[in-house]
Amino acid sequence: MALTKRERLERTIAGQETDRVPVALWRHWPGDDQRAADLAEATVAFQRRWDFDFVKVSPSSGFCITDYGVQDRWEGDIEGTRTYIKRVVHRSLDWTELRVLDPTKGALGRQLETLRLLKEAFGDETPFIQTIFSPLAQAKNIAGPGLVIEHMRTAPDRLKTGLSTITESTLRFIDAMRRTGVAGIFYAIQHASYAVMSETEYLEFGRPYDLRILEALPPEWWFNMGHLHGRAPMLNAVKDYPLQALNWHDRESELDLATGKVLFPGAVSGGIGRNDPMNLGSPVEVRAQARDAIEQTGARRFILSTGCVIMTTTPQSNIRAAREVVETGG
């Protein structure tokens, strides 16, 4: 007898036997991510087409910082991400001038409306999780990637003041999300990477703010997934985070799924390269990587996905290959 999506995910997280490996892919919706109804409609249509085991809700990265005054625009990136055209931190003192946001207004309020629309569409059948960017990731977009690192090293106290404000805004948004029906969050951690900073730096400027957020998540949220970004993930810095699953670019880094399972006690998520082969390759190549991932993990504590968002140009045939391979046991 087939399990429900929630049952399948809960058994996977616990390392128990399931009827099949869970699978999910997610993408950005450029243009449509600027309006609640459009983002909800695009997300629902994608899920109706592919029937994944959960839905990762993907607003533009600016949704959580637009109300500080940041501006962005769509310039055609095939990943679906928008380009920042106005930052609001230019000097270190600017971090101290950020103010806590009202989650019911502006872009944050629009995202809450998206979640309410998704709950109306999915009911209890399909779990969905909202993307939350870490405070340091938000700071990067507020100031720019180079400047936030510069301030981390030249004006650490001022940056920490800004990070505290961002954290409080995020906590208020999470509290407002409790009434939307989400199963949890997709927590995007972009700086826990040896290509960006040292582990010592992340333990000071990343981890404390991450834990303030993750330890405050509502107990009824049963499916919270972390995401490590880039080619050199710093798994040691986050392996004890209170998360049920962890996703990273396993096909683009030296950290494979089998090693990740040893270090992280929950489910690991990945297995297919998001650009090669998912975007550039063939269904045969997609199935081959998926089968290899299933073999690496023994089909336990494993969710088949890509290491990050799929490209907006990803062929339907490759999505179909990833979705169907779990039905045959790999």
pLDDT digits (tens, 9 = 90+) for 77-113: 999 999 999 999 999 999 999 999 999 999 999 999 9
Is residue 26 very low, low, confident or very high in pLDDT (cuts 50, 70, 90)?
very high
Residue 275 has pLDDT above 70, yes or no: yes
Instruction: Give one DSSP letter per residue of 217-254, joined into a string.
Output: S-TT----EEEE-SSSB-GGGTTTSS-SEEEE-GGGSS
Residue 329 has pLDDT above 80, yes or no: no
What pLDDT does 330 receive? 61
Residue 256 has pLDDT above 80, yes or no: yes
Residue 306 has pLDDT above 80, yes or no: yes
For residue 72, what is the enclosing H or E element? strand 71-73
**C-alpha closest to that of 40 among 107, 103, 122, 105:** 122
The residue range of the domain holding 51 is 5-328
- Percent of the chain exceeding pLDDT 70 equals 99
Tell me the mean pLDDT in the region 31-40: 98
**C-alpha closest to that of 64 among 228, 206, 176, 192:** 176
Tell me the mean pLDDT in the region 117-129: 98
Residues 6+ apart with CB under 8 A from 56: 24, 26, 128, 129, 131, 186, 225
In 10 A of CB 262, how many CB atoms?
9
Is residue 64 very low, low, confident or very high in pLDDT (cuts 50, 70, 90)?
very high
- The residues that bridge with 55 in the sheet, in sequence order, are 128
Q: Report the distance separating Cα 303 and Cα 257, nearest Å.
A: 10
Are residues 130 and 61 in contact, defined by beta-carbon separation less than 8 angstroms? Answer: no
Are residues 106 and 112 in contact, defined by beta-carbon separation less than 8 angstroms? Answer: no
- Read off the pLDDT of residues 161-208 as tens digits, 9 standing for 90 and up: 999 999 999 999 999 999 999 999 999 999 999 999 999 999 999 999
Tell me the mean pLDDT in the region 129-145: 98
98 to 72, 153, 195: CA distances (angstroms): 18, 20, 28
Tell me the mean pLDDT in the region 31-48: 98
Domain count within the chain:
1
CATH number at residue 198: 3.20.20.210
Residue 17 has pLDDT above 80, yes or no: yes
- Verdict on whether the full-model pTM lies above 0.85: yes
What pLDDT does 232 receive? 97
Q: Work out whether strand 71-73 and strand 83-86 pair parallel, antiparallel, or are unpaired.
A: antiparallel
What pLDDT does 328 receive? 85
Q: Report the distance separating Cα 281 and Cα 321, nearest Å.
A: 11
- Read off the pLDDT of residues 207-249 as tens digits, 9 standing for 90 and up: 999 999 999 999 999 999 999 999 999 999 999 999 999 999 9
What pLDDT does 7 receive? 98
